[in-house]
Structure 1
């Protein structure tokens, strides 16, 4: 039985579609490539892929319309939009039509692959990790919330992902390089500084419970104490 991740790529630009398809296929993906929205819908119904990567501007049926129709059948399948547009209103429109993520062209394949795996991870753990105890908090990773004493604290996608990995290594060291590769795509200096900022944000949100600490283990990583 194949262990490849099945993915529907809807991209009408032939050269880009070919590059993305070949690159993903070298990373254990099975890719079904459509060149317009109608072909993408047909492949979706026939192949039932695990994840969708949709260009926004396509002939016959645009990516937003396609995503809206697919969402009527499947509320969980991860959808990533590819687009040359980057204005806030365009991004918001994408999320309103059921998108989970939004990648502006040109993009790196490494970033696309990291985002795909992050979305698949969230779907995979939805049923098993909807109520993780962190001190006095109940952490719902799929909903990206922390609950304490009837109060709900909303987390960003990256805050939730980072806290999830910390929670899976409670009272143990979470390797710095591992989490940078997992969530940021590489462990360079700038991404490391970005992660430090997200750690600080999590500390502020968790400070309601004084028994919770996120320790910086210099040279190794972070440790969630609770």
Structure 2
């Protein structure tokens, strides 16, 4: 059985270690980081099934981190952990893209139940995204126009995947570059421009679809 991969961000070292070890004894795979910046970098460089984010962290708090992640991925489950107990804090958590909210102190059993429920709900969602007269199969990363398969390179599918997760919304260029190439620099930016041009051509069979260059920001997959 495939292990559930968790990105766990917690600045309390002792708590983080205990939770990580406890989850790993229950067949979860856990990547532990101690601040928001490291968590964002880890998210860019690997794939996870669920994010467990402490709210009060140095360098970048959990809510800010969650909002940044939601700019490029609308579907990955996010659980916030916090010692705060005010109703407004819970509202802020859900406003920051959270799917669940657990107050400290918490039991490992409670955390596991919440993780399993969110991952099960997420994996049951349709893995096919409609883009005008095209369909994009997120699991297999295949693009179809009506019933015809459109040949795609690996890098093209990576770019399209991030755009389809944010249809009609701007995806920041730096986020695309960091997530796909690992670094936002001039040369990778030129490569991204080339792949955007290729994708525009492959999506040109449907005139209602456009990939818009939002100057100074990034790209938007726009569907009328």
SS in 2 for 1:19: helix
Q: Write the distance in 2 (CA, Å) between the matches of 1:102 and 1:86.
A: 10
Q: Which residue of 2 aligns with 1:212?
A: none
Structure 2 length as normaliser, TM-score? 0.55
Residue 81 of structure 1, CA deviation: 0.3
Give the 3-state SS of the residue equivalent to 1:92 in structure 2: helix
Q: Take 1:7 and 1:124, find their aligned partners in 2: how far apart are those partners?
A: 15
| 1:90-121 superposed Cα distances (whole Å, 9 cap, x missing partner) | 00000000000000000000000000000011
Higher relative contact order, chain-length normalized (CA < 8 Å, sep 6+): 2
Find the residue that maps to 1:48 and give its secondary structure: coil
Q: 2:12 aligns to what?
A: 13
Query: Is 1:126 matched up with 2:134?
Result: no
Which residue of 2 is the match for residue 142 of structure 1?
none
Aligned partners of 2:66, 2:26: CA distance in 1, in Å? 25
Distance (Å, rounded) in 1 between the aligned partners of 2:89 and 2:28: 28
**Paired position in structure 1 for 2:115:** 116
The residue that corresponds to 1:140 in the other structure is: none
Does 1:69 find its partner at 2:65?
Answer: no
* Count of residue correspondences: 127
Where does residue 53 of structure 1 map in the other structure? 52
In the TM superposition, structure 1's runs of 4+ consecutive aligned residues that sit over 2 Å from their partners are: none
* CA distance in 1: counterparts of 2:49 and 2:108, whole angstroms: 18
Question: Structure 1: how far apart are the matches of 2:106 and 2:55?
Answer: 15
Partner SS for 1:43: helix
C-alpha separation in 1, matches of 2:87 and 2:94: 11
Residue 78 of structure 1 is matched in structure 2 by 77
Which consecutive residues of structure 1, in runs of 5 or more, have no partner in the other structure? 129-226
**How many angstroms apart in 1 are the aligned matches of 2:62 and 2:71?**
14
The alpha carbon displacement at 1:29 in A equals 1.0
Aligned-residue offset at 1:48: 1.6
Cα distance per residue 1:16-58 (max 9 Å; x no partner): 0000100111111111101000000111111221100000000
Q: Does 1:88 align with 2:70?
A: no
Query: CA deviation digits over 1:137-179, x for unaligned, max 9?
Result: xxxxxxxxxxxxxxxxxxxxxxxxxxxxxxxxxxxxxxxxxxx
**Aligned with 2:21: secondary structure?**
helix
Long gaps (5+) in structure 2: 128-224
